[in-house]
Amino acid sequence: MYIDVSLTVEDGMVHWPKDPEVIIKQFSSIKNGNTANNTHLSFGTHTGTHMDAPHHFYEDGIGIDKLKLESLIGECLVIEVPEEYESITEDFLKTQNINSGGRILFKTKNSKIIPDKNFHEDYVYIANDAAQYMVNKGVILVGVDYLSVEGFGKGHETHRALLGAGIIIIESLYLEHVEPGSYKLIALPVKIKDSDGAPARVILER
C-alpha cells in the first residue's frame, strides 16, 4: 500500500510569511483556442511539501541536487506526538525507539491545520535539545507536518543543528491519516542545481 503524504501545490496555498506567495496561472489554454494547455508557476523553493538542503543555512553546504538517494529512500519511523505537546523535546524523544541511521517523521496536531491557507504561528516544532539529541543519535532524515522544523520567531538553531550534521529535513508533510509505525519512505525533491531546497513528492509504503 502506498500513501501520499505530500500537499497538493495550488494557487494561494499557505506559505511562510516572508516567502513569495504561490501563484499558478495558465498561459496557454485549449479552451481559448491554443494548441495545448501550459501553465506558469511562481513560488519559493520551500513551498508545499519540500526538502531543505544544507545550503539553506550554510553558504558552503551542498544543494538539493547533491543529496544522496540512499538517504531519501528507505525505512522510516512515523512517531505520533501527543496533542498536549507544544514542542518535540529531548525528554519525549528518549521515550521513543530512535536508532543511528534512522529516518523519522513526526505526526503532530499540525496535520489538522496544514491544509489551511492561513498561516498558524502556534504550530508544534522541534526544540533545540531534541534536534541535538537526534544529531547525537545519528539520525539521517527528519520530517515534520508544518512549514518549519523550528518554532516561529524562535531563531534557527534547530535548522543549523540538523543541517550542519547533514540531516535532511522534510517540511509540510500531511500525516493526518497515517498511523504511527514503520514504513518505507520515498522522498524525491525537484532536482534544482545548487538549490537551498525544493518541493518534493513524498510517499510512504507499508
Are the beta carbons of 51 and 201 closer than 8 angstroms? no
Residue-level pLDDT at 146: 98
Residue-level pLDDT at 181: 97
Residue-level pLDDT at 173: 98
Active site residue: 56, 120, 156, 159, which one?
56
Give the DSSP letter of residue 21: P
Are the beta carbons of 47 and 9 closer than 8 angstroms? yes
Of the candidates 48, 46, 24, the one whose C-alpha atom is nearest the C-alpha of residue 201 is 48
- What tens digit of pLDDT does each residue of 35-94 get? 999 999 999 999 999 999 999 999 999 999 999 999 999 999 999 999 999 999 999 999
> CATH no. for residue 108?
3.50.30.50
Residue-level pLDDT at 50: 98
CA distances from 85 to 88, 89, 124 (A): 7, 9, 7
Look up 56 and say whether it is catalytic: yes
* pTM for the structure as a whole: 0.96
Beta strands in 49-162 (DSSP E): 50-52, 73-80, 87-88, 103-107, 125-126, 141-143
Q: Which domain holds residue 145?
A: 2-205
Note down pLDDT in tens along the chain; length 206 residues.
999 999 999 999 999 999 999 999 999 999 999 999 999 999 999 999 999 999 999 999 999 999 999 999 999 999 999 999 999 999 999 999 899 999 999 999 999 999 999 999 999 999 999 999 999 999 999 999 999 999 999 999 999 999 999 999 999 999 999 999 999 999 999 999 999 999 999 999 99
Q: For residue 96, how far is the Cα from the chain centroid?
A: 21
Residue type for 4, please?
D
Residue-level pLDDT at 112: 96
- How many structural domains is the chain composed of? 1
DSSP 153-185: TS-SHHHHHHHHTT-EEEES---TTPPSEEEEE
Residue type for 26, please?
Q
